[in-house]
Amino acid sequence: MSELIRISVITPSYNQGVFIGRTLASVASQSHSPHEHLVFDGGSSDETLQVLKAAGANVRWVSQPDNGQADAVNQGLQAASGDIIGWLNSDDIYYPDTFKKVAAAFAKDPSLDVVYGEADHIDLDDVPFESYPTTFWDPELLRHTCFICQPALFFRRRIIERVGLLDASLRYCMDYNYWLKLADAGCRFAYIPDKLAGSRLYAENKTLSDRPAVHREIAEMFRSYQGNVPLRWVFAYAHHSTAAQFDRSKEPMRFKLHLYLETMRSQWRWNRRVGISALRELRQANRRHALEATAAEMHAASS
C-alpha cells in the first residue's frame, strides 16, 4: 500500500541557482514518484529562475519577496496537499529510494506521525565527507542535541493542525524548534537506519558562517520556549563565542579564562544561575553530551 502514499516536497529557495538543479533532480528521480514539488523562491537574482522555468510541469513554483526561509516553508505547508511532507532546502539532495523507504514506513504503521533517517554532510560537489550524528528516537536527548538532520525527516500533513507552522522569527533553528514542538505535542516518531539525504555544508552557508549567532539563537529559543536553556547549549554558545575571538592553539590560557567567564555570563543571562555548583553542572552536562555524541557517531558509522 506504500504506493498510495502521496509525498509533497517543499523547497524554500533564494539565490541557490548553482545547486537547485541538483535538488530538483534528486526529487524527480525518486523511484516512488512525488505527488508534488513546491518551490517558494524569495525573489532570486541569480540563475535560479532559469532552472525553475526549465524544470517543467512537475515543479510548481513562485518567485516573490518573502520574510525568510521559515516564511517560505510555511507557505509550502499551507499549500501542500500530499499525505506526507518533506522539506528539502535548495542546496540539499535526497538519496535514491528515499521516498520508497519513507512511504513504506508510514504505510506499515498508520499511527506514525514522523519518520526520520540518517544523512550525510556533503560538499560543493555532492560528495559526502561526514555522517550527520543521528540516533534512535529519544525525546529527552533531543533537548540536549539536535540528532535529526532536517532534510532526512518527513511528517504527516495532519500534524500541522495540531502543532501549527514554523516560528518565522527564527533564522537558524526553526527546524529544531519544530521538532521539539512535535515531540511535546505527543507526535509518534520512527527512526529509519538508512541514509536518506545529503545536507550541504560549506563555508558560505549560514550555519557555518556565524556559529556564535546560531548558538545564541538556539539558546534564546529555549529560553522563550521552556523558560530555561539546557546546560549543553549554554556551554556550546560560550565555546563558539570564545572560539570566534581567541585561537585556542595560540592562546590556550586566554581561551580557557574567557570560556569560563562567558559560560558564567551565559548561565546568568539565560538561567539566572552562577557559582561553583552551576559550573559543576555545566561540566557534567558537557561530559554527558560528549558521550552521547560519541555514541551517536559510532552508531552512524556502523550502520
CATH of span 2-206: 3.90.550.10
Contact 152, 88 (CB under 8 A): no
Dihedral sign from CA coordinates of 168, 134, 104, 58: positive
Q: How far is CA 187 from CA 112, 139, 155, 225, 230, in A?
A: 8, 11, 10, 18, 22
Contact 71, 14 (CB under 8 A): no
121 pairs with which residues across the strands?
Answer: 130, 199
Q: Read off the C-alpha cell for 204.
A: 558560505
As a whole number of angstroms, the distance between CA 271 and CA 199 comes to 33
Q: What is the pLDDT of residue 258?
A: 94
Is the pLDDT assigned to residue 102 strictly greater than 80? yes
Reduced 3-state DSSP string for 4-34:
HCCEEEEEEECCCHHHHHHHHHHHHCCCCCC
Distance, C-alpha 172 to centroid of its chain:
9
Q: What is the pLDDT of residues 1-21, one digit of tens each?
A: 677 899 999 999 999 999 999
Q: What is the pLDDT of residues 131-187, one digit of tens each?
A: 999 999 999 999 999 999 999 999 999 999 999 999 999 999 999 999 999 999 999
Q: What is the pLDDT of residue 279?
A: 63
Tell me if the pTM is above 0.85: yes
As a whole number of angstroms, the distance between CA 76 and CA 81 comes to 10
Q: What is the pLDDT of residues 232-282, one digit of tens each?
A: 999 999 999 999 999 999 999 999 999 999 999 999 999 987 655 556 665
191 pairs with which residues across the strands?
Answer: 116
Give the domain ranges of the chain: 2-206, 210-302
Residue 276 contacts by C-beta under 8 Å, 6 or more apart in sequence?
A: none
Phi, psi of 197 (to 5 degrees): -155, 160
